[in-house]
A and B are shown apart, each in its own frame.
Chain A
Amino acid sequence: MKREIPILIVGITGVILFLQYFIPTDWSMQLLGTSQDWVIVIGILALPLGIWSLVKANIMKLQVKGERFYAAVLLTGFLVMLIFGLPHRSSLEQGSTFMTLFNTILIPIQATIFSLLAFFVASAAYRAFRARSVLATILLLTAFLVMFRWLPLGFISTADNAIVAWILSVPNMAANRAIGMGIGLGGAAMAIKIILGIERTYMGHD
């Protein structure tokens, strides 16, 4: 009851939705659309689970000295966005207070955090990519060629651009295709294992 029926549900829904792809009729497309809507509905109604966990964890932190201020900042930021965003759908339009907060706070901070990575990636690369082997040298050389492309170095840049264009369209594309196929095969294998009830870790423990 606690485990068997959910496994049965996964198997039945999985097989039906899999077979649906090979039956291109109106009702099968409707079945797919409705099923995808079901996934969205289940997902959106599960959202409060995550929100509550975050809010609860930070309410607990309000009682911890040293964390109090930062927990209050997080909760205030969250509540302010809800207050300005939830009442009206028009809050999603540019010019609303909600979107102004988004553009003033979220965009600059996120852009700066990602730009910070330029420094950390560079220092990490220095430690990781020292040309100690043929493989590391290939990686290092490719990375440098790709990065040097942007420098205005006259005829060197022209030659580098041609080499980089070839790297991106031939070996890089081949590597990405092979990795993509590996991910595809892995994903499909995992989905089949889930449908057949071999993979059950998603159910957690009793």
Chain B
Amino acid sequence: MTTSQLLLNGIAVFLTFCIFSFLYKDNPFYKFAERLVAGVATGYWTVLLFHTNFRDKVWDTIVINHQFIYIIPALLGIAMWTRFSKNYSWISRYSIAFYIGISSGAGIPLIFYAGIFKQLQGTISTPLAFSWAGLNAFLIIVAVLAALVYFFFSAAHKGTMGTVSRIGIYVVMIGFGAGFGLTVMGRVALLVQRIIFLKGYAIALFGG
């Protein structure tokens, strides 16, 4: 490890300990690292969006490629700044209207396609058969329907509806449990990775 790498990794080690110090209690070291990451992250995203979005979609499009139609959304974007004024903040509603209108209109078919039709297709695409895969396919259909019934609030969950919705909540709880377990293991993997990083730095510094 070169001296500059040692120095840079030293900063990373210091910041890692600053964050871990929160396990004891909230303290100035943690606050320092927390604010530093907020500032650096804001700066990082600002720079990234400036180069990838502003330069590509605004500056290059209007100034270099002379696609002057893009002046309209640019003006709409600038109109968002009227939010700072009490008297003229209503102008920003025009920008929001374009933003929301385009996003909603273009979004509906995509939501239906990805959120509903593809999910339904995935649920019923495996053929039912007297095999392990066929049984699983049948269970998936039953479990999806039961979970959907649980989320259907336009009818009282009584009788058959109540029984099916009860199965539905069991399915949902298994889903939440699996999600929780995977999340915890993901976090533990990150923790192990941080400890390995600290160990690697200690070995580089003091020799192993």
B155 at the A interface (CB under 8 A): no
> Are A38 and B43 closer than 8 Å at their CB atoms?
no
A121 touching B183 by the CB < 8 A rule?
yes
- Tell me the residues in window 60-95 of chain A with beta carbons closer than 8 Å to chain B beta carbons: 69-71, 73-82, 85-86, 89, 91-92
Chain B, residue nearest A45 (CB):
B77
User: B residues touching A (Cβ–Cβ < 8 Å)?
Assistant: 8-9, 11-13, 15-16, 18-20, 22-23, 31-33, 35-44, 46-51, 53-55, 57-58, 61, 69-70, 72-74, 76-78, 80-81, 83-84, 89-90, 93-112, 114-116, 119-120, 122-123, 136, 139-140, 143-144, 147-148, 150-151, 168-185, 187-188, 190-191, 193-194, 197
17 further contact pairs, Cβ within 8 A, besides A42-B98, A167-B178? A2-B90, A13-B105, A14-B102, A18-B105, A18-B106, A81-B43, A106-B41, A108-B13, A116-B20, A116-B22, A121-B184, A139-B177, A171-B174, A175-B174, A188-B115, A192-B108, A203-B96
Decide yes or no: A12 and B96 within 8 Å by CB, A142-B177, A181-B120 being known contacts: no
Size band of the A side of the interface?
35 or more
> Whole-angstrom distance between the alpha carbons of A98 and B46 in the complex?
12
Residues of B within 8 A of A183 (CB): 115
Complex contact B51–A92 (CB within 8 A): yes
Q: Please, which residues of chain A bring their CB within 8 A of the CB of B13?
A: 108
Q: Tell me, in angstroms, the Cα distance from A196 to B80 when the chains sit together.
A: 23
What chain A residues lie within 8 Å of B136 (beta carbons)? 166, 169-170
> Cβ of A142 and Cβ of B178 under 8 Å apart?
yes
Partner of A42, one of B31, B73, B111, B193: B73
Tell whether, in the assembled complex, residue B123 and residue A177 are in contact, meaning their CB atoms are under 8 Å apart. Answer: yes
**CB neighbours of A78 from chain B (8 A):** 39-40, 42-43, 46
Q: Which residues of B contact A45 (CB under 8 A)?
A: 54, 58, 73-74, 76-78, 80
**Contact residues, A102-160 vs B (CB, 8 A):** 102-119, 121-122, 125, 135, 138-147, 150
* Cα–Cα, bound, A205→B77 (Å): 20
Between A and B, 24 residue pairs with Cβ closer than 8 Å are A14-B105, A17-B105, A34-B69, A37-B70, A38-B70, A42-B99, A43-B99, A44-B58, A49-B83, A77-B35, A81-B39, A85-B47, A121-B184, A139-B177, A142-B173, A143-B180, A166-B136, A167-B178, A171-B175, A178-B143, A179-B151, A180-B119, A181-B119, A184-B115
Q: How far is the CA of A43 from the CA of B112 in the complex (A)?
A: 25
Query: Residues of A contacting B89 with CB < 8 Å?
Result: 204
| Cross-chain contact A73 with B115 (CB below 8 angstroms) | no
Which listed residue (A135, A173, A187) contacts B107, Cβ 8 A?
A187
Q: Are B102 and A146 within 8 A (Cβ)?
A: no
